[in-house]
Structure 1
Amino acid sequence: MKTCSACFRLFSHDSGFCPVDGQRLVPVAEASPPRHPEDRRVGATLCGGRYQIWRIVADGGMGRVYQALDLKVGRSVALKILHPEVALDEVSVERFHREFEVSASLPHEHIVEVLGFEKTEDHSFALVMEYLEGEELRTVLKRDKVLPPERLVRMLSQLALGLAEAHERKVVHRDLKPDNIFLVGTRDGDRVKILDFGSVRDNSAGAKKLTVVGTTIGSPFYMSPEQAQGLLALDHRADVWSVAAIVFECVTGRVPFHASTGPMILVTIMGSNPLPPSEAGKAYGVPASLDAVMEKAFMKMPEVRIESVGLLADGVGRAYGLAGSHRDWAYMPQDELAARIRAMLPTLLGRPPKAPAGAVHAGAGAVHAGAVHAGADGRQVVAVVAAPSPGATEAFTEDIVMGVPQRLPRWVVPAVAGAAVLLCALVALLISR
């Protein structure tokens, strides 16, 4: 391993210069880790002398992340160590250990690799993970506001592959947000890593439950209605909603549901619908073909929501005029995706042609802009008909026709939300007596 004498990042032995500071790298055997005036861990070796801490990478609510050298195997690793006050909370420690167990049981190229769980000499706990050089999606959105469609489609396709592994094992992430999607840059485009499985819901038989029924877990802006209510019947479709909220933010530069406080955000999620992305993202040229896909992804009832993140990725890619499925786009060079989307985007942003009666059909991997229908509010909406992606488990009508699903009467959702609030108030009153 080599290190930079300016920033103390660690690099493989075949690296020559630090891409951040431009300094010539030196072998770690010829250098010493720095000391930090406010953090005694930096420069020390932890966990029985195995991990030598070289620098602080990031801080979070639960703990601090360091880049360290694994002296046993000679590789760079990331150590996430709980803050002292968090390490005293048994439930927090149990969740931290659960993150290790779940991540270790899900070996996948798009899920961060977890290598170990250790107790530190300063009475805390450390999660040992592969070290990743790149940036969180949150950082990208803060800087660039939105993602180009080709970057979004590639990222979403890889995200779908990683989550499919978890969902097949009945593991629900429950905290998908831009902060937990890490992008590693390569020549062909981003390589996605899903982070932080500490809030998972494990629906597999015999799995230990750490969350009391009715407890709300997750980040409000990206939370599904069933998750906002803390419902017991919560499955992978909650993650579909969260990913849809991320997609919405990536194309419009804003979250789909917004309010001044966390509770009000949850009320908004349960009682209102977001703007169509083509309207919210008009300044960024979002095509109207994406509206029907997102409308189905934001269905309040999981039973009528898009069934999987893979099908959501297929719908988003086809809304941008791509043929095939997310399995084709996940590793397609970003430049090639960009060229294909650019070729179709002018047509998508124009007025779609009316299809002859009976001419709508779908071949393998095909997508067609079909007939124009009048929506419930009188607006014209183009139905998009798509074939199921290769390897899809069950394709039913709601998966194949990505058009305008039957709407519930407008009064239903507010009425249900109001009844839920009144019921909660009544229960609180009875408990207080």
Structure 2
Amino acid sequence: MKTCSACFRLFSQDSGFCPVDGQRLIPVAQASPPRHPDDRRVGATLCGGRYQVWRIVADGGMGRVYQALDLRAGRSVALKILHPEVALDEVSVERFHREFEVSASLPHEHIVEVLAFEKTEDDSFALVMEYLEGEELRTVLKRDKVLPPERLVRMLSQVALGLVEAHERKVVHRDLKPDNIFLVGTHDGDRVKILDFGSVRDNSEGAKKLTVVGTTIGSPFYMSPEQAQGLLALDHRADVWSVAAIVFECVTGRVPFHAPTGPMILVAIMGSNPVPPSEAGKAYGVPASLDPVMEEAFMKSPEARLPSVGLLADRVGQAYGLAGSHRDWAYMPQKELAARIRAAMPAVLARHRQGAAGAGAALAGAAAAGAERSPVAAAVAAPSAGATDAFAEDIVMGVPQRMPRWVVPAVASAAVLLCALVALLISR
């Protein structure tokens, strides 16, 4: 292994220069890790002297991430160590350990590899993971606002591949958001890694539950209605909603549901519909062909929603004119995806406009025909004063439904039969 004397990143033996600082790399045997005035772990060896900590990578609500040298394996690893106050909470520690168990049981090239769960010398706990060089999707969106279609399709396709095995095993990630989508740059495009399985919902038989019924787990902006309500009947379709929210943000530069506070966000998720992405992302040229895809992905009822992340990825790719499925696009070079999308989009938009025009003409024709046959159409145009007094479920297009003629005779017949049955039972 080699290191940079300026930033103390660790690199493989065949690396020559640090891509961040431009410094010539030196063997770790000729260098010493730095010390940090506010963190005694930096420069120390942890977990029985196996891991030598070289630098702080990131901070989170649960813990701090370090880059370390595995002295036994001779490789760079990431150590995610719980904050001291978090390490005192039994449920948090149990969730942390479950993140290790779940991730270790789901080996996949698009899920971060978790290597070990260790207790540290300062009475905390460490998750040992593969070290990734890249950036979170959140960082990309803060800088670039949106993703180009080809990058979005490739990323989404790999996310779908990474989640399929978890969903088949009835494991729900439950905290999918841009912060937990990590992008490793390659010559052909991003290589995606899904992070943080610490909030999973394991619906497999006999799985231990760590969440009290009615508890809300996850990030509000990306949370499905059933997750917002803390419903017990929560499955992989909650992840479909979360991934759709990520897609929406990637193309429009904003989240689909927004409010000043967490509770207000959840109310918006449960009670309103997002603006169509072609409207919300008009400044970025989001095609109208994406609107019906997002509409299906954001259905409030899980039963009406797109049933899998794979199908969501397929529909998004098809909205950009791509042929095939997410399995074809996941590893296709980003430049090739871009060329295919550019070539296909004019025909896609033309078909969408024709379909919209045809649907509008059909609705107009049906309305005109209805006006000739029935006075109800006139009532729709000018509803009676009493119409607003009806319950919403009794209103069709602003007009209270009239009671069908068969209702009164049917109710009367049922009452006669019920009375006869009661009389027969009494006589016995």
Shorter-normalised TM-score: what interval? 0.7 to 0.9
Q: Give, as a single letter, the amino acid of the residue that structure 2 aligns with 1:24.
A: R
Deviation of residue 349 (structure 1)? 4.3
Q: Give, as a single letter, the amino acid of the residue that structure 2 aligns with 1:339.
A: A
Choose from 361, 372, 377 the match for 2:358: 372
1:157-180 deviation line (CA, Å, top 9, x unaligned): 000000001101100000000000
Deviation of residue 348 (structure 1)? 3.6
Following the alignment from structure 2 to structure 1, what is the Cα–Cα distance between the partners of residues 152 and 259? 26
1:157 is aligned to 157
1:290 correspondence with 2:290:
yes
2:15 aligned counterpart, secondary structure: coil
Q: Give, as a single letter, the amino acid of the residue that structure 1 aligns with 2:217.
A: I
- For structure 1, which segment, 39-48 or 338-347, has the greater mean C-alpha deviation from structure 2 after superposition? 338-347
1:17 is aligned to 17
Q: Contact (CA 8 Å) 1:86, 1:93: kept in 2 or not? A: yes
Deviation of residue 373 (structure 1)? 1.8
Deviation of residue 57 (structure 1)? 0.1
* CA 375–179 in structure 1, closer or farther in 2 if over 3 Å, else same: farther
Following the alignment from structure 2 to structure 1, what is the Cα–Cα distance between the partners of residues 107 and 357? 44
1:10-49 residue pairs with structure 2 within 5 A? 10-49=10-49
1:431 is aligned to none
1:179 is aligned to 179
Following the alignment from structure 1 to structure 2, what is the Cα–Cα distance between the partners of residues 215 and 377? 44
Deviation of residue 411 (structure 1)? 5.4
Q: Give, as a single letter, the amino acid of the residue that structure 1 aligns with 2:340.
A: R
Q: Percent identity?
A: 88
* Gapped regions of structure 1 (runs ≥ 5): 355-368, 379-409, 413-433
Q: Contact (CA 8 Å) 2:43, 2:53: kept in 1 or not? A: yes
Following the alignment from structure 1 to structure 2, what is the Cα–Cα distance between the partners of residues 201 and 353? 41
- For structure 1, which segment, 369-378 or 190-199, has the greater mean C-alpha deviation from structure 2 after superposition? 369-378
2:359 aligned counterpart, secondary structure: strand
Q: Contact (CA 8 Å) 1:287, 1:348: kept in 2 or not? A: no
* CA 226–352 in structure 1, closer or farther in 2 if over 3 Å, else same: closer
1:292-331 residue pairs with structure 2 within 5 A? 292-331=292-331
1:240 correspondence with 2:226:
no
Following the alignment from structure 2 to structure 1, what is the Cα–Cα distance between the partners of residues 295 and 309? 14
1:216 is aligned to 216
Following the alignment from structure 1 to structure 2, what is the Cα–Cα distance between the partners of residues 370 and 78? 51
2:80 is aligned to 80
1:271 correspondence with 2:257:
no
Following the alignment from structure 1 to structure 2, what is the Cα–Cα distance between the partners of residues 38 and 377? 68
1:127 aligned counterpart, secondary structure: strand
Report the structure, 1 or 2, having the larger helix content.
2
1:372 aligned counterpart, secondary structure: helix
Deviation of residue 346 (structure 1)? 3.3
Following the alignment from structure 1 to structure 2, what is the Cα–Cα distance between the partners of residues 103 and 377? 51
Following the alignment from structure 1 to structure 2, what is the Cα–Cα distance between the partners of residues 134 and 311? 27
Q: Contact (CA 8 Å) 2:288, 2:352: kept in 1 or not? A: no
1:96-116 deviation line (CA, Å, top 9, x unaligned): 001000000000000000000
Q: Contact (CA 8 Å) 2:289, 2:352: kept in 1 or not? A: no
1:67 aligned counterpart, secondary structure: strand
Deviation of residue 347 (structure 1)? 3.6
Following the alignment from structure 2 to structure 1, what is the Cα–Cα distance between the partners of residues 15 and 361? 58
* Gapped regions of structure 2 (runs ≥ 5): 365-390, 394-428
Following the alignment from structure 2 to structure 1, what is the Cα–Cα distance between the partners of residues 43 and 165? 38
Deviation of residue 254 (structure 1)? 0.4
Following the alignment from structure 1 to structure 2, what is the Cα–Cα distance between the partners of residues 160 and 22? 36
Deviation of residue 239 (structure 1)? 0.1
1:29-84 deviation line (CA, Å, top 9, x unaligned): 11000000110000000000000000000000100000000000100000000000
1:198 is aligned to 198
Deviation of residue 377 (structure 1)? 9.9
* CA 54–375 in structure 1, closer or farther in 2 if over 3 Å, else same: farther
Q: Give, as a single letter, the amino acid of the residue that structure 2 aligns with 1:174.
A: R
Moved segments of 4+, more than 3 Å: 346-354, 369-372, 374-378
1:225 is aligned to 225
2:256 is aligned to 256
1:5 correspondence with 2:8:
no
Give the TM-score, by structure 1 length: 0.83
Q: Give, as a single letter, the amino acid of the residue that structure 1 aligns with 2:138.
A: R
1:186-209 deviation line (CA, Å, top 9, x unaligned): 000000000000000000010000
Q: Contact (CA 8 Å) 1:136, 1:179: kept in 2 or not? A: yes
2:232 aligned counterpart, secondary structure: coil
Q: Give, as a single letter, the amino acid of the residue that structure 2 aligns with 1:225.
A: P
Give the TM-score, by structure 2 length: 0.84
Following the alignment from structure 1 to structure 2, what is the Cα–Cα distance between the partners of residues 376 and 142? 43
Pair member with larger Rg: 2
Following the alignment from structure 1 to structure 2, what is the Cα–Cα distance between the partners of residues 375 and 71? 71
1:221-250 deviation line (CA, Å, top 9, x unaligned): 000000000000000000000000000000
Following the alignment from structure 2 to structure 1, what is the Cα–Cα distance between the partners of residues 169 and 236? 10
1:396 is aligned to none
1:373 aligned counterpart, secondary structure: helix
Following the alignment from structure 1 to structure 2, what is the Cα–Cα distance between the partners of residues 190 and 127? 25
Aligned length: 367
Q: Contact (CA 8 Å) 1:115, 1:128: kept in 2 or not? A: yes
Give the aligned CA root-mean-square deviation in angstroms: 1.7
Deviation of residue 375 (structure 1)? 11
Q: Contact (CA 8 Å) 1:252, 1:281: kept in 2 or not? A: yes
Deviation of residue 353 (structure 1)? 6.1
Q: Give, as a single letter, the amino acid of the residue that structure 2 aligns with 1:138.
A: R
Q: Contact (CA 8 Å) 1:2, 1:11: kept in 2 or not? A: yes
Following the alignment from structure 2 to structure 1, what is the Cα–Cα distance between the partners of residues 203 and 351? 45
Following the alignment from structure 2 to structure 1, what is the Cα–Cα distance between the partners of residues 392 and 234? 24
